[in-house]
Structure 1
Amino acid sequence: MSAMDPGEELRRDVAAARARFAEEGGGATTTVLRNDGPYRHVRFDFPRASWRWCEVVTWPDVLVLRGDLGVWSFGRPGDGLEGFRLPGGEAGRVDPARWAERLVSGGPGAALRYCAARAAAYVRAAVTAGAERHEGLAEEAEEFFFGARAGTDLSTEKGLLEAVGRFEERHADVYEGFRFPVETWEPHRYDPGFLLACVMLPWAVAEYDAAASAVSRVA
């Protein structure tokens, strides 16, 4: 997987989340605690999973998933469940990027986490491109960013920006015109808990629909 292809990386991460849910989600139970029009409270227990439980709560324009996968609040006009109903279990329609836009608290950024491996890949790609014009750049940058005595910290976004800034300032005269195009970088990946929530929510809605339909038929 290339850290330089965020789209492909996301597809693979979603596939991994689907595989994890399929492996661990078996034997789950669904309990409808409230079913009053748009006001719902549904609990799910997962006896075989590394996450033990979660619940979906809805009221007009809002759906909240909370539990061992974190707390994710989605805003959508009307019925909060409707946006996660995927007819026929169309897994290909799981869309973390679009669904992150609906997050009430923190917006899309709340679903992202800084990825040091992706940041390092961006640094190396920029150096490789620049080395075609600047002799010695590749060796100098490798030692500066990744050498045994490197004084850089790429484990945080702040550390990444400070490191590339120091390198550019220190070597401005030697490698004239070279800079890291940080404004084009995307050093974040979707939080694994958010991706698992995106995979689980269509399943949870289908489970609720089946339970509510069964109660309706009995009534």
Structure 2
Amino acid sequence: MKDYEPTQEQFDKDMASWTMEALRDDGLYRHLRFRLSGGGFRWFDIVTWPDTLVITGDCETFTFKRLEDMFEFFRSSGSRINPGYWQEKITDGRDRARSFDWDTFRAAALADFDSSTEDMNPPQRLEARDELIEALDSEPDEYGAVDVLRNFSYRDGGPGAKVLFRFDLSDGAPDGMTWDFHYIWCCRAIAWAIAQYDAQKGQTP
């Protein structure tokens, strides 16, 4: 399975020189600050109180609610992140966890074309696919994405010729939505931060 972006490898490399400071550590009331060492300006905070965890700083801000001790909630996934399940626990705009990605939309549109044209004459199919790629690459914008598919047709000859392919959008078009990069970064940051906290406290997750 393809790893989420940013990948764990990318994230670990970014965090290699970050440090933790406990501004408050009183049972379920925690305020942990993580900062790039060496005088860097990058930072993020993890703040918890009963039933709530907030991550904020040089990243998106997300508030999660699930268990009295939210560290226990995030520890339950071990060292892995669980974006789909964790998204359900966001209380300040869970839709922000996903965003439009043109490459995702483009790949889904081409996959739809390929599955719908298996019986098409091979030379015509190749020509139609090339025309579709040209149309998709001409307007890589979220707001024009569906219009590209709605307006696309391949004809057997000139403009008045028979239409050999048109997208069937009766069940909806590909939405092009994927996990937002900043959300995945925050998920990895939470898991990493709790691991740093546990290591400093001498705890085994």
Q: TM-score range by the shorter chain?
A: 0.7 to 0.9
Partner of 2:90: 103
In structure 2, C-alpha distance between the alignment counterparts of 1:199 and 1:34, rounded to whole Å: 22
Q: Hey, what's the Cα distance between the residues in 1 that align with 2:201 and 2:53?
A: 17
Distance in 1, Cα, partners of 2:18 & 2:165 = 61
1:154 touches 1:160 (CA, 8 Å); kept in 2?
yes
Distance 1:176 1:131, change over 3 A: closer
In the TM superposition, residue 47 of structure 1 has moved relative to its aligned partner by: 2.8
1:63 alignment partner, SS class: strand
Distance 2:165 2:7 in 1: 45
- C-alpha distance after superposition, 1:34-69 (max 9, x if no partner): 123322111011238x98211101122110111122
From the superposition, tell whether residues 127 and 138 of structure 1 become closer, same or farther in structure 2 (CA, over 3 Å): farther
Q: Aligned residue for 1:209? A: 198
Percentage of identical aligned residues: 27
Which residue of 2 is the match for residue 189 of structure 1?
A: 178
> Which structure dedicates a bigger proportion of its chain to strand?
2
Q: Tell me the amino acid that sits aligned with residue 98 of structure 1.
A: Y
Q: Give yes or no for contact 2:46–2:55 (8 Å, CA) kept in 1.
A: yes
- Give SS of 2:4's match: helix
Instruction: Tell me if the contact between 2:52 and 2:63 (Cα under 8 Å) persists in the aligned partners.
Output: yes
Residues 59, 176 of structure 1: CA spacing in aligned structure 2 closer, same or farther, 3 A cutoff? Answer: same
How many residues align? The count is 196
Query: CA 1:210–1:144 in structure 2 vs 1: closer, same or farther (change >3 Å)?
Result: closer
Structure 1 stretch 124-133 or stretch 28-37: which is displaced more?
Answer: 124-133
CA distance in 1 between counterparts of 2:21 and 2:165 reads: 65
| TM-score normalized with structure 1 length | 0.73
Stretches of structure 2 that go unaligned for 5 or more consecutive residues are none
Structure 1 or 2: more helix by fraction: 1
AA partner of residue 177 (structure 2):
H
Matched with 1:118 is: 104
